[in-house]
Structure 1
Amino acid sequence: MHLKERMLTMAYDSLQRLLLDNLTTAVVLLNGELRLEYMNPAAEMLLGVSGQRSLGQFVSELFSEMPDGLAALRQAVASGHPFTKREAQLLCNSLQPPLTVDYTATPMTGLGGALLLLELHPRDRLLRITKEEAQLSKQETTRLLVRGLAHEIKNPLGGIRGAAQLLSRELPDPALKDYTNVIIEEADRLRNLVDRMLGSNKLPQLAPVNIHEVLARVCSLVEAESQGRLSLVRDYDPSIPELLADSEQLIQALLNIVRNAMQAIAARKQPAEPGQIVLRTRALRQFTIGHQRHRLVCRVEVIDNGPGIDPALQDTLFYPMVSGRADGTGLGLAIAQNILNQHQGLIECDSQPGRTVFSLFLPLEQGVPTP
């Protein structure tokens, strides 16, 4: 082969790899022995594995189909006939719940012999996107409702407080001022409560932030408060780049979530194991938040081994004044979600007895902050 032809072949191969790497469809290439030859970043994200580290691994080391999909894959290689499966259940070693996917297996012939191309289309992700859109819509409706209600409450509160102050000055008996002081103090308390429900009106002051420095600050505060009663486990991905964010606001959002986890652990009755909170960071490629797909997203998980969240509360968990504790205000998670929304991110929760996971998604490329 002439040099020019070899260069054209190399350029064509590079273009093919570039196209595959930027596809949102998960692509996995197996050889005739069903060992991994290649997977694109979308497949790495879907299966939760590194394609480079997994090269040469048998397909069942990456995922296994329930009940048994190996026979179908071997049959496709032997016969050369493609096939498609709908809503297949895949068990991945790196992921706890099974994945629901549609996939197509296409046999091919390469320079090294038989190949099998798998195209995986996750159904779980479509369901998650639909759920996120509904969640964001509900939160926006709730925020508008709270703002309107707060406006109607704060106006008469100002009049009540002013009238109580004027009345206090005209009272002949100083002992009667105790009653006007109660009116003033309660009006102030209600105003502060409404302000907390509204959250900050300030847009986040975006600057390059290392998410692990934010987590280090949160850990130091929680360790001081817990006084050794629980263990904090750090599971970080050091490759995550800096993101544009307001570090103080992120500290507040994460602190609210970690404190909730700490209080849930403390409320356990006769715990079978010591309290533990895991802080985990990972980078996700080609990830969709609401209507927008982001090239790279930082996921921060707060995992605790507390008693779990009441299923009746899980759909309204991020609404103001919703709390699972008798002494809770129900504002911590609402404020955290509002902060993430301003950063064009999102918080999700998955809870069962003994394991509650709050997942915070933050785009690593920011546009204009959301007011």
Structure 2
Amino acid sequence: MSAGKLRNSFKGAASAAPFFPTLLDQMPNAIVVFEAQNQQLVYVNQSAESALDLSRKSLEGQSVHDLFGENEALASMISEVSHGHVATQRQEMLLHSVPGSIHQGTVPAHVVIASLEDPSLIMMEWFPIDQQLRSERDERVTQQVEANKQLMRNLAHEIKNPLGGIRGAAQLLEFELSEKGLHEYTQVIIKESDRLQSLVDRLLAPHRKAHVIEAFNVHEALERVRSLVLAEFPKGLRIIRNYDTSLPDVMGDREQLIQATLNIVHNAAQALSEEIRLGVAQIELKTRVARSVTIAKHRYKLAMDLHVIDNGPGIPEEIIERIFFPLVSGREGGSGLGLTLAQTFVQQHQGFIACDSRPGRTDFHIQIPYRKQEKTS
């Protein structure tokens, strides 16, 4: 059924009916409309496209069963409504995601099945019930990370001055020492002081440099990241492009967002050492447009959605909740600053960064709002 036929199928107020699908497109929750008899989809709103990670065109001809598989609770709700026993059914359940979706596995969701004025059509609406919990968790983590970053910046400033004095004293001592063999010890002091100075500089770096705001193509930035990482890991690693080329340009600091993504992709490549040795390592760079998103309690119509997905061993459970904290690293010899800096850069663009990890699949998710194209509420 075409969109035009669908509009004609919605009955009710004559003036409002033609615009009903347009209104549904503005709804933040995922909504699909399907035929009661064969459950074939006739309409999918924009939020459902985002939730299913599939376009309307690719969803044409599919049924509710194709999307969510065998689900007795869902089938029972549809049956009750389609047979006219009730007008609306609401229930919390586990929805199995469509194959190929970025949200693999099951999603705890609140599902609403409702009849329409046209008895041959049924509407299904759903939203993740952990959305509010996730929002509260993200806000709490952001506050904790910000407190830790403030502490680290204060410590960095406190360390910086005496560190310079230690290095200078070691240089003077080396100059005064007549026995050349003792220079080995002063060199240890100087080199370790330089290493700590470099660490301090990295802690302070995001707050020293002014933003250079410009419009840029995110895929050009990702191609730069891809070429840099592949130059370091030329064998055994595939970096897969999964780009939505219709994405508009992002307004932001191009170099900062390149650095943020590079830190994530480089960390992923280092974690894939065993997979690289076996020649099966892969990192996927996936871009999409996200609609009707909420970031830090602000609502945006559109956002750039970026996923960095690898097939590595996953992040250890004991540090997964702290990976964005300064000096937390799951890799021996890691500084624990790469993800902290990535989060800082993303947050400076009013975006968010999150991670979902399990053995065989780690997904770093970045969203940057298109601030010039929408209002916040």
Q: TM-score over 0.5 for the alignment?
A: yes
1:42 Cα deviation from its structure 2 partner: 1.8
Question: Unpaired runs of 5+ in structure 2?
Answer: 1-12
Determine whether 1:291 maps to 2:297: yes
SS of equivalent to 1:227: coil
- C-alpha distance in 1, partners of 2:155/2:105? 41
- Show the counterpart of 2:3: none
Note the C-alpha offset of 1:143: 1.0
Cα offset for 1:330?
Answer: 1.3
Q: Which moved more, 1:176-185 or 1:243-252?
A: 176-185
SS of the aligned residue for 1:116 comes to: strand
Distance in 1 separating the partners of 2:18 and 2:211: 41
Task: Name the counterpart of 2:250.
Answer: 243
> Aligned residue for 2:260?
253
Q: Residue 84 of structure 1 aligns to a residue in which SS?
A: strand
Task: Report the 3-state secondary structure (helix = DSSP H, G, I; strand = E; otherwise coil) of the residue aligned with 1:278.
Answer: strand
Q: Measure, in 2, the Cα distance between the counterparts of 1:312 and 1:366.
A: 40
> Which 4+ residue blocks in structure 1 deviate beyond 4 angstroms?
162-169, 174-182, 268-271
Question: Which residue type is aligned with residue 263 of structure 1?
Answer: Q
SS of corresponding position for 1:327 = coil
In the alignment, does 2:201 pair up with 1:195? yes
Report the Cα offset of residue 186 of structure 1: 3.1
Task: Write the distance in 2 (CA, Å) between the matches of 1:258 and 1:220.
Answer: 11
- Following superposition, the deviation at residue 66 of structure 1 comes to 3.3
Report the AA paired with residue 44 of structure 2.
Answer: M
Identical positions, percent: 40
Gaps of 5+ in 1: 1-8
CA distance in structure 2 between the aligned counterparts of 1:351 and 1:223, rounded to whole angstroms: 23
DSSP-derived class of the 1:142 partner: helix
Alpha-carbon displacement from aligned partner over 1:77-107 (angstroms, at most 9, x marks no partner): 1125134333211112143121211122222
* Distance in 1, Cα, partners of 2:124 & 2:52: 13
Question: Match of 1:5?
Answer: none
Output aligned runs, 1:98-117, within 5 Å: 98-110=106-118, 113-117=119-123
Contact map agreement 2:81 2:89 (CA 8 A) in 1: no
Pick closer, same or farther for the CA change 1:121–1:165 going to 2, 3 Å: same
Give me the whole-angstrom Cα distance separating, in 2, the residues matched to 1:115 and 1:101: 22
Judged with a 3 Å threshold, the aligned counterparts in structure 2 of structure 1 residues 354 and 257 are, in CA distance, closer, same or farther, namely same
Per the normalisation by structure 2, the TM-score is 0.85
Q: 2:82 aligns with which of 77, 83, 108?
A: 77
What is the rounded CA distance, in whole Å, between the counterparts of 1:249 and 1:296 in structure 2?
A: 21
- Counterpart of 2:5 in structure 1 is none
| Residue 54 of structure 1: how far off its partner (Å) | 2.3
User: In the TM superposition, what is the alpha-carbon distance from 1:30 to its structure 2 partner?
Assistant: 2.0
**Could you tell me how far apart the structure 1 residues matched to 2:91 and 2:280 are?**
42
Q: Which moved more, 1:210-219 or 1:174-183?
A: 174-183
Correspondent of 1:50 among 55, 74, 93: 55
- 1:253-275 Cα deviation digits (max 9, x unpaired): 1111111111111145985x611
- Counterpart for residue 22 of structure 1: 26
Q: Does 1:212 align with 2:219?
A: yes
**Is 1:326 aligned to 2:327, yes or no?**
no
Report the Cα distance in structure 2 between the residues aligned to 1:165 and 1:56, rounded to whole angstroms.
76
**AA in 1 matched with 2:32:** V
Over residues 271-321 of structure 1, what are the superposed CA-to-partner deviations in whole Å (9 max), with x where a residue is unaligned? 5x6111111111110112222222111121111111111111111111121
- Give matches, 1:1-371, under 5 Å: 12-33=16-37, 34-64=39-69, 66-94=71-99, 95=101, 96-110=104-118, 113-164=119-170, 171=176, 173=178, 175=180, 180=186, 182-201=188-207, 202-267=209-274, 271=278, 274-365=280-371
Question: Contact between 1:65 and 1:89, CA under 8 Å: does it hold in 2?
Answer: no
Deviations 1:11-48 (A, max 9, x none): 63454333322121322222222222222212222233
| CA contact 1:27–1:117 (8 Å) conserved in 2 | yes
- Tell me by how many angstroms 1:225 deviates: 1.3
> 2:206·2:344 contact (CA, 8 Å) conserved in 1?
no
C-alpha change, 1:172 and 1:51, in structure 2 (3 Å) is closer
Could you tell which deviates more after superposition, 210-219 or 15-24? 15-24
Count of paired positions: 355
Offset, 1:68: 4.5
Aligned to 1:4: none
Shift of 1:125: 2.2
Task: Report if the CA contact (8 A) 1:136-1:290 is conserved.
Answer: no
CA distance in 1 between counterparts of 2:333 and 2:189 reads 24
